[in-house]
Amino acid sequence: MNNNSSGKSWVIICLLLIFSTLILSCKKSNEKGIPFSYRAVNDSDTALLRYTKLEDNRFFGQYEVIYGQFRKDSGEIRGIISGDTLKGSFYYHSYGGGVLKRYPIAMLKRENKWLLGKGIISIYMGIPSFLKTEPIDYSNPEFIFEEVKK
């Protein structure tokens, strides 16, 4: 009888562990894959940012800058999330068409807003990136993105 009750306890403990693991893994997966939408306005220019967090602290999404009413740069962004910073590349077609271009992008999160950073760009083997020896400046951002609630 004693052997039977210890067997039942073992089964219950295993089931609880499996159930706990499933709940925790579902909670983690819910944090990933959620799309976020942000919008920023600077005078007559508007920027739209939509991105999704992926595994391994990566992100991908869409970024569009509309200059006044007549021209825009729109395309894809992707990169790495490091704490409160998004760093990556913006692949876009200037004026909504033409040759695909690549531009480095960095944003810092402050008080639930994303600040677009500025930095010195270097080009190595045709790939533009921010110079690692110089800090990215977030003090006077061209765009301050606020979350768009659906």
Residues 21, 41 share a domain: no
Let me know whether 12 and 73 are in one domain: no
Tracing tokens 């979350």 back to the chain, one arrives at: 147
Question: For 76-119, what is each residue's pLDDT tens digit?
Answer: 999 999 999 999 999 998 876 778 999 999 999 999 999 999 99
Task: State whether 20 and 39 are in the same domain.
Answer: no
Q: Domain range spanning residue 85? A: 35-147
CB 72 within 8 A of CB 148: no
Dist. CA 110–CA 123, nearest whole Å: 29
CA distance 73 to 89: 14
Closest CA to 79 of 118, 53, 99: 53
* 3 phi/psi in degrees, rounded to 5: -65, -40
How far is it, in rounded angstroms, from Cα 20 to Cα 115? Answer: 38
Per the structure, the count of domains in the chain is 2
pTM: 0.74
Are residue 15 and residue 51 in the same domain, yes or no?
Answer: no
Q: How confident is the model at residue 5 (pLDDT cuts 50, 70, 90)?
A: low
pLDDT at 33: 81
User: What DSSP element (H or E) covers 39?
Assistant: strand 35-42
How far apart (Å, rounded) are the C-alpha atoms in residues 72 and 2? 75
